[in-house]
Structure 1
């Protein structure tokens, strides 16, 4: 058994490890861990009290994957529901689609009785107002929101530069490998933006025959390189989990145009080996690991790779 989560997900790792240790389903274990992160008001890039889009709306994304069946569920641009990761799971179990977004996702969430929540908080809205004050011209302030969003200055510092999507990977007692992600995406993003988190094969992928991978930070890059699926495919081709991650990192580093920044790659193989790297990361990258024999999950430091 094994649990890997990024540092932003640490508040839910004790619960996820507890469920794994009790020999319950690994996907349900990591979903329950992520739900704790989604309700954590101190994390502003996942769930409640996250930074909204440029219009002040909090749109949430999530995905799950069962590596044994290779069924997936994903949700994008979901508003006003507390646990997008649970909605993603129910897409996997209740409907013959793999992803729902926007109004359709919200209708589905209502139909399954998902928990409704006002995810915007006083802190998140006040921070958004401060951002608008910093980036809008006086003319734009007078007309907002009836302005051309593409004209808004978008180079202001993200208040949560050091925080990110949460990702979990697990191997349970039945050797089932699972992945799950949840995020609010970029602060002040263009409405409707999807990053890699809800896109299976980009932000996460699990295959119990080989392993699993999940990415954080610059989702635009992981989408273009199909990073999560690539790591698993490289393992299928015979590379070790470490070499598979390095090869995927080289794919990312080969991108020369578009928005380019840092990417963190988390991966496990079917034997319980793991590798976490921060590609071109400017800060220390930490992650959480739990295995049987550990009293509680432990925090480790990832390798920084510069290419």
Structure 2
């Protein structure tokens, strides 16, 4: 068994550990843990503590992947919904589809009994409004949101530098690997924007025969390089975990043009080895790790590439 998650996972990490220790399946353990993160106002990039889009609406993304069946469920730009990872699991279980977005995803949530949630934290709303008021004149304030958004999106591109998500990766006692993701996405994003968190192969991928990977921060880059799949594919082709991560990182570092920022790759293999690396960042980031025999989960530091 093994459990790996990024620093935002703190409110739910121990719950996922407890589920694995009780004999739970990896995917169920990860969704249990991530649900606590989504509900925590202290986590300012996921669920209730996250940030709205350019017009002040919360649009949350989430996904799950079962590494044994390669089944995926994903939801994107979902309004009025806190627990999007659990919703994604239900897409995987109940529908012939892989992904639902927007009001269609919310309709599905209503149909299966998910509550409609007040997702926008009051402080997030305050900061969003203050940022806009600094840029809008009186006429634009009166007309908002019926104003051009492209200039605003370029003028205040993620002022809080929030391009993070939460990712949980694990392998259970039966050797089944899984990944779960959840995010409110890029702060101040253009309405309808999807990052990599709900995109299989980009923000996450799991194959119990080889391992799993998930990415945080600048999803615009990992979507271009299919980063998570590249890591797992490297393992499939016989590379060590270190070599697989570094090969995937080479593609990210070679990108030119478009939005370029920081990326963090989280990866583990079927032998319970793991690695977390930061690319283009000013300093390492912390992450959470647990395996049997440890007295408690540990917060560790990523490597810099």
The number of residues matched between the two structures is: 305
Q: Contact 1:263 / 1:278 at 8 angstroms: preserved in 2?
A: yes
How far did 1:163 drift?
7.0
5+ residue gaps, structure 1: none
Structure 2 unpaired stretches of 5+? none
What's the counterpart of residue 106 of structure 2? 106
**Equivalents in 2 of 1:86, 1:70: separation in Å?**
17
Equivalent position SS for 2:48: coil
Residue matched to 1:15:
15
In structure 2, the residue matched to 1:252 is 252
Asked if 2 retains the 8 angstrom alpha-carbon contact of 1:44 and 1:160, the reply is no
Q: Distance in 2 between matches of 1:238 and 1:115?
A: 45
Secondary structure of 1:48's aligned partner: helix
Deviation of 1:284 after TM superposition, in Å, equals: 2.5
Whole-angstrom CA distance in 2 between matches of 1:133 and 1:217: 27
Structure 1, residues 282-301: CA drift from partner, whole Å, max 9, x if none? Answer: 13311100000112210010
Q: Distance in 1 between matches of 2:153 and 2:57?
A: 18
Residue of structure 2 equivalent to 1:230 = 230
Is 2:215 aligned against 1:215? Answer: yes
Structure-1 residue corresponding to 2:145: 145
Shift of 1:159: 5.3
SS at structure 2 position matched to 1:188: coil
**Alignment RMSD:** 1.3
Partner of 2:30: 30
CA contact (8 A) 1:175 1:270 kept: yes
- CA displacement 1:77-128 (0-9 Å, x = unmatched): 1111220111000000011100000111011010111132110121111111
Q: 1:148–1:36: structure 2 CA closer, same or farther, 3 Å change rule?
A: same
TM-score by length of 1: 0.96
Paired residues of 1:83 and 1:115 also in contact (CA < 8 A): no
Partners in 1 of 2:178 and 2:117 — Cα distance? 27
Q: Distance in 1 between matches of 2:276 and 2:297?
A: 16
* Aligned partner of residue 51 in structure 2, secondary structure: coil
Question: Partner residue of 2:44?
Answer: 44
Distance apart, 1:153 and its partner CA: 5.6
Moved more, 19-28 or 65-74: 19-28
Q: Is the 8 A contact 1:8 1:163 kept in 2?
A: no
Q: Hey, what's the Cα distance between the residues in 2 that align with 1:182 and 1:153?
A: 23
